[in-house]
Structures are given as structure tokens and as C-alpha cells.
Amino acid sequence: MRDFLIHVFTWWNGWTFGTKLWTSRYGEQVGTDEFGNVYYRTRGGKVDPTLGFQRRWVIYNGPAEASTIPAGWHGWMHHRVDTPPSEQTYVPRPWQLPAQPNLTGTPAAYRPSGSILKDAHRPAATGDYDAWTPGS
């Protein structure tokens, strides 16, 4: 019952009924990434006459967060490459890091030393700072 209500009343938690209906009628699954996101395109790879290119979309596994799309799928979604990562053997370069979701606004976000949101104490002032006063 909970999942039913989530899909009826929220658009940011995976798919809605409209998206599920559209996908079942006009889409074909292309692949899935390591986060569980499922990628689709128009059935048969048809070009949409109103757009002039093929429609491509993703149904997120969980909240709709664009930073969970890996680099290879991002390129395919934005028409940078024609072949989806599921249909090619792609070996990442040594300098490429695995995709990580954006953690801003979550408890796991980066907080530098001295931040008021960090649990540690702020470092003590060293005394090497002299405040500016006008006329001096």
C-alpha cells in the first residue's frame, strides 16, 4: 500500500503511473546501471518527428537524483554517443573514478574542518591576525 501511495502522489520517487504507462506503450529497455537506474528509448529507435531525435529517458531507482547517472550513461542520455554502454565494451581510463551521488544536504556531505556543522571543535585562533581599523 505504501508503494502504491508513493507512486500516486510523488514524482521524485522512481516512476509515476503516467511514466510507467508511457514506457510500456512506447519504450524499450536499453540497459541498467550499477545504481539500479533503468534506461529506455523509443521502441525501435524511432526518431520523434516533433523533436528531430530519438527520445531517451531514465527511471531512477529511488529518488530522482541526476548525479546518480554514471558518465557513460550520461553521454548516451544527452546524445553525445549513439551506442549505449550496455551494447559496448567500455573500459574506463585509469584516471576515471566511479560515479558517486551528490551528497550535499545529507548527513554524509563533506564538511571541512572549522565548519559549524562538523562535530569536531573549531581550531583555536593563532593570534597572527590583526583586525583592520580605518585610518591606520
8 A C-beta contact, residue 58 and residue 39: yes
DSSP summary character for residue 106: S
Write down the pLDDT at residue 57: 93
* Chain segment 48-66, per-residue pLDDT in tens: 888 888 999 999 888 888 8
The candidate with the shortest Cα–Cα distance to 30, out of 94, 82, 66, is 82
Is the pLDDT at 2 greater than 90? The verdict is: no
Sheet holding 38-42, edge to edge: 27-32, 38-42, 56-59
What does the buried/exposed string (b/e) look like for 61-75 if buried means 16 or more CB atoms within 10 Å of the residue's CB? eeeeeeebbbebbbb
Per-residue pLDDT at 91 exceeds 80: no
Closest CA to 39 of 54, 21, 52, 27: 27
Copy the grid coordinates of residue 126. Answer: 593563532
Q: What is the mean pLDDT of the chain?
A: 83
Which tens digits make up the pLDDT trace of 64-88?
888 888 888 988 999 998 888 888 8
The answer, yes or no, to whether residue 127 has pLDDT greater than 70, is: yes
> Which cell is 37 given?
537506474
The domain limits of the chain are 2-87
Task: With a cut of 80, say whether residue 7 has pLDDT above it.
Answer: no
* pTM strictly above 0.75: no
Query: Cβ distance 65 to 104 under 8 Å?
Result: no
92 vs 21: CA distance, rounded Å: 35
Q: What is the C-alpha to C-alpha distance for residues 119 and 7, in angstroms, rounded to an integer? A: 37
